[in-house]
Structure 1
Amino acid sequence: MPLPEVLAAVAYGGFLVVGVILMRVDIHEHRLPDRIVLPSTAALLAVVAAHAVSLGDAAPLARALLGGLALGAFYLALRVANPEGMGGGDVKLAALVGVFLAWHGWAVLAVGAAAAFVGGAAWALALLAARRADRDARIPFGPWMILGAWAGLLVA
């Protein structure tokens, strides 16, 4: 298997494994630990950089860096606007998700980011309709960010 394909497989596999772990933690503990998110972001950037070198094309790496910064900044703005509605772990996870999605393209980033909000809103509405939550319920958003990322990758 050619090196770029191996590196892509490592990125996908790593994002999948880390995503499953973070979803579980966020659902059960309502947190996204820095000790998982931050090294995962650094590792993904390293793999994306190696992938860019193996292809001789820096554009996907630059796009991944900008996407991580952009999505992280967007979530940071949401957190500043409503600290009770968005946690700091979500902001850091947004950078990881932004790197992963933008590596594939701007459309993938847009669809994946939007899918997180659509999925999270649909889940919240379903919980409200079923009277399993009220307006003040804390609903973990990390799982929707990760599922949205995969939806963006598959759809866009």
Structure 2
Amino acid sequence: MLALMGEYWDTAPVAFWLCALALALLAVIGIWLSVIDIQTHRLPNRIIFPSYPAAGVLLIAAALAAQDWGRLVSLAGGAAVLWVFYFILRLIYPAGMGFGDVKLAGVLGLYLGFVGWSFLLWGTFAAFLLGGLWGVLLIISRRGNAKTAIPFGPFMIVGAGLVLALG
């Protein structure tokens, strides 16, 4: 997203600032949700549900300001695809994925979809890679086993954040 914002800086400054606000929102919400998830293994609706319209409005406004019409489809599609993917995982193995993760996936899908379909793929891959590495570290350090519950929200947020920053 940072590369896209660089383009917007030159061609559509209003879109740049709207993207900056959207990223700031993601950072605040991401930190807040990560702390809560680590402490309680919950991702509260009172934070996630308002994130959909807040992020959606900012990203839609950025696309409109840049006259970048394709981003309107990709942000909606990204949210839907990622939500459905996590929902299917939840259906297949309910003990392995909380519904808060499913709801968070839709919000992250807005951002990842906005910048492109490959970002959606890589952000999702990064989340599972980071979560898996954490699980392996817990097992190696004997602080957990294969059945240890891991709050997955922080890995989803960090994975998306890394891809948005580095992609």
Q: TM-score under structure 2 normalisation?
A: 0.90
Name the CA distance, whole Å, in 1 between partners of 2:152 and 2:95: 12
Equivalent position to 1:82, from 93, 97, 102: 93
Equivalent position to 2:110, from 93, 96, 99: 99
Give the corresponding residue for 2:165. 154
Q: Deviations over 1:95-142 (max 9, x none)?
A: 011111110111111111100000000000000110101222110000
5 Å-filtered alignment, 1:38-53, equals: 38-53=49-64
Give the corresponding residue for 2:135. 124
1:140 is aligned with what amino acid? P
Give the corresponding residue for 1:66. 77
Q: Is the Cα contact below 8 Å between 2:90 and 2:96 reproduced in 1?
A: yes
Identity %: 40
Please provide the CA RMSD for this pair.
1.1
Q: How far off its partner does 1:155 sit?
A: 3.4
Q: How far off its partner does 1:154 sit?
A: 2.9
Name the CA distance, whole Å, in 1 between partners of 2:17 and 2:163: 22
Q: TM-score under structure 1 normalisation?
A: 0.96
Secondary structure of the 2:103 match is helix
Equivalent position to 2:66, from 55, 70, 77: 55
Q: Is the Cα contact below 8 Å between 1:64 and 1:98 reproduced in 2?
A: yes
Question: Which runs of 4 or more aligned residues in structure 1 lie more than 4 Å from their structure 2 counterparts after TM superposition?
Answer: none
Structure 1 residues not aligned, in runs of 5+: none
Equivalent position to 2:119, from 105, 108, 111: 108
Secondary structure of the 1:84 match is helix
Q: Is the Cα contact below 8 Å between 2:135 and 2:146 reproduced in 1?
A: no
Q: How far off its partner does 1:48 sit?
A: 1.0
1:127 is aligned with what amino acid? L
Q: What is the aligned residue count?
A: 156
Q: Is the Cα contact below 8 Å between 1:113 and 1:152 reproduced in 2?
A: no
Q: Deviations over 1:34-80 (max 9, x none)?
A: 11011112111111111122112221121010001000000000000
